[in-house]
Amino acid sequence: MTRHVIVGNGIAGITAARSIAKAAPEAEVVVVGAEPYPYYQRPRLWELLSTDLAPEELYFRSLGWYAQRGIQVQAGSKVSEILPSSHQLKLAGGAMLTYDRLLLATGGRAFVPPFAGVDKDGVFVLRSLADAVAIREYARRVSSALVIGGGLLGLETARALLAGGLEVTVLEFAPHLMPRQLDPEGGRVLQARLEALGLRILTGVATEAILGDERAAGVRLQDGQEVAGELVLLSTGIRSRVELARQAGLEVNRGVVVNAELCTSAPDIYAAGDVAEFDSVVYGIIPAALEQARIAAQNMVAAGSATYSGTTMSTSLKIVDVELICLGEALAGGPAFELIRHSDVEAGIYRRLALHESKLVGAILLGDTSGARTLKRLIVSGRDLTAYKEQLQDQSFELETLST
Ligand SMILES: Cc1cc2nc3c(=O)[nH]c(=O)nc-3n(C[C@H](O)[C@H](O)[C@H](O)COP(=O)(O)OP(=O)(O)OC[C@H]3O[C@@H](n4cnc5c(N)ncnc54)[C@H](O)[C@@H]3O)c2cc1C
């Protein structure tokens, strides 16, 4: 019987496990996950910060779900080494596990910048359920927080801490918020919306050190300014968990390098999700983890049966009262692109469409996200929009009416 072993119990891991169990009911499927719970939804973690929600309420799959599908799960078990030449894994307790095909779905971890004082009490990152519970407990004992990083996750977390009754300041290094998804004008409109909700936002500032004795009390910026805050949340990016792959001699760049079959440089070892790098891209989003996991699973069952060609980027900010969706090459610009923009800071609305040779390649929809699905389909289909250019200039034109 073929044994498929999956390292990682996140969305990529369980999606692949489910796909393999469905396609090859006779195969053995084993999921080994370091966290001691069944699969839970990471995008819902911030809900814990401002509510009394029990951590179990975030579980999306029960242990019975795995059992009913014939999937063996070892939750709370960490893989410490891969031995590709003998098709074996070593678990942290020393036990060995053999595999015929292996999937690395070890995801990512939050990047901790080398600021002085990051090891003080009250300094956190938000990646896991355990992080969320620890932040919530600490937040109940303080009245102010600093969020370092004004990207998507930083802003969602800042809003949750604000909802929990804290005074919250966001510190962003770039000149405007969400620099990976928004242009300066979009950042300006978003900042105005978030300030109206009660967040304090400083952009263009570089943190140098966390202040305080044993407990965090604020930060010192590179220009010497000090900003007070008793809880410091670092939201400064994600790094793929590549150590197992690197130590096993697999090709690793920013992530574990995979080909179009999602196979790594070692035969019988595949990778999917935040740990995988395809075509120089580590996506870091759930739609990519889902697509990659399904394709990796197909190839694990029957090598060469499916190919991956990349995922259309799609990110959305999940903050009550602030709608924002960024699609495709949201920041595309320069002489080769045609930009159609509309901005209304008062109303909190910004729309930016980027066209290349009359085809939509990227979009930012802030304040009014109706039409997002249509736009995403247009990016994927590459439909020529020459006939609609005039209407697209009109902010009241309903994007949903475009046929894709
Ligand atoms: C707060 C938050 C909100 C987010 N919101 C969104 C959103 O709205 N939309 C979106 O698209 N994306 C969002 N993301 C990103 C999204 O969660 C990730 O893209 C997704 O979780 C990647 O899935 P994955 O399975 O590759 O990795 P992960 O979810 O990181 O899972 C990997 C698992 O592998 C385990 N593991 C690691 N090493 C080992 C080992 N050696 N042995 C055993 N197990 C191991 C880890 O413990 C972990 O449980 C969010 C992320 C966070 C943190």
What residues does each domain of the chain span?
3-109+238-301, 123-234, 314-401
Cα–Cα dist 176/244, whole Å: 36
Of 288, 246, 283, 284, nearest to 265 by C-alpha is 246
Run of H or E including 64:
helix 63-68
Of 61-65, 67-71, 113-117, 146-150, the least confident: 61-65
- For ligand 1, the distance from its centroid to the CA atom of residue 160, given in whole angstroms, is 19
Look at residue 168 and tell me whether its pLDDT is greater than 80.
Answer: yes
Q: Output the CA 111–ligand 1 centroid distance in Å.
A: 13
Please, is 223 exposed, middle or buried when counting C-beta atoms within 10 Å of its C-beta (0-12, 13-18, 19+)?
A: exposed
Kindly tell me if the per-residue pLDDT of 323 is higher than 80: yes
* Ligand 1 in reach of 284 Cβ (< 6 A): yes
pLDDT for 400:
82
The mean per-residue pLDDT over the stretch 306-321 comes to 91
pLDDT tens-digit series, residues 238-267: 999 999 999 999 999 999 999 999 999 999
Which of 265-268's residues contact partners 24+ apart within 8 Å by CB, and which partners? 266/84, 268/84, 268/87, 268/99, 268/100, 268/101, 268/102
Q: Which residue has the tokens 């004992």?
A: 141
The predicted structure's pLDDT at residue 394? 84
Strands (E), 111-245: 123-124, 144-148, 167-172, 200-203, 207-211, 218-221, 226-228, 231-234, 238-240
Ligand 1 atom with the smallest distance to the CA of 45 is 1
Percent of the chain predicted with pLDDT > 70: 100
DSSP summary character for residue 324: E
Please choose from 6, 39, 42 the residue to mutate so as to test ligand 1's pocket, defined by most ligand atoms within 8 A of CB: 42
- Torsion angle of the four alpha carbons 13, 17, 19, 23, in this order, in degrees rounded to the nearest 10: 150
Q: Residue 220 has what pLDDT? A: 98
> Does residue 79 line the site of ligand 1, with CB under 6 A?
yes
Q: What is the pLDDT of residue 390?
A: 86
383 burial type by CB count under 10 A (0-12 exposed, 13-18 middle, 19+ buried): middle
pLDDT in tens, 262-294: 999 999 999 999 999 999 999 999 999 999 999
**Cα 282–Cα 288–Cα 293 angle in degrees, nearest 5:** 105
Nearest CA to ligand 1 atom 28: 107
Q: According to the model, what pLDDT value does residue 47 have? A: 92
Is the CB–ligand 1 distance for residue 241 below 6 Å?
yes
Query: Model confidence at 325, in pLDDT bands (50, 70, 90)?
Result: very high
Shared fold status for 3-109+238-301 and 123-234: yes
Say if residue 314 is exposed, middle or buried (CB neighbours under 10 Å; 0-12, 13-18, 19+). Answer: buried
Q: Provide Rg for the chain, Cα atoms.
A: 23
Tens-place pLDDT, residues 355-394: 999 999 999 999 999 999 999 999 999 999 998 888 888 8
CATH architecture of 314-401: 2-Layer Sandwich (3.30)
Residue nearest to atom 7 of ligand 1 (CA): 43
Query: What pLDDT digit, counting tens, does each position of 111-158 carry?
Result: 999 999 999 999 999 999 999 999 999 999 999 999 999 999 999 999
Dihedral sign from CA coordinates of 197, 340, 391, 369 = negative
Is 75 close to ligand 1, i.e. is its CB under 6 Å away?
A: no
pTM value is: 0.93
Cβ 237 under 6 angstroms from ligand 1? no
Q: Which fold, 123-234?
A: FAD/NAD(P)-binding domain (3.50.50)
pLDDT digits (tens, 9 = 90+) for 92-116: 999 999 999 999 999 999 999 999 9
* Ligand 1 centre distance from Cα of residue 358 (Å): 36
Q: Which atom of ligand 1 is nearest to the CA of 316?
A: 8
Ligand 1 site-directed mutation target among 112, 286, 295, most atoms within 8 Å of CB: 286
CA-closest residue to ligand 1 atom 2: 43
Q: Which CATH number fits domain 3-109+238-301: 3.10.310.10, 3.40.140.10, 3.50.50.60, 3.30.360.10?
A: 3.50.50.60
> What confidence tens digit (pLDDT) does each residue in 174-223 have?
999 999 999 999 999 999 999 999 999 999 999 999 999 999 999 999 99
Instruction: Please tell me if the CB atom of residue 78 comes closer than 6 angstroms to any atom of ligand 1.
Output: yes
Q: Could you tell me the distance, in angstroms and rounded to a whole number, from the CA of residue 18 to the centre of ligand 1?
A: 17
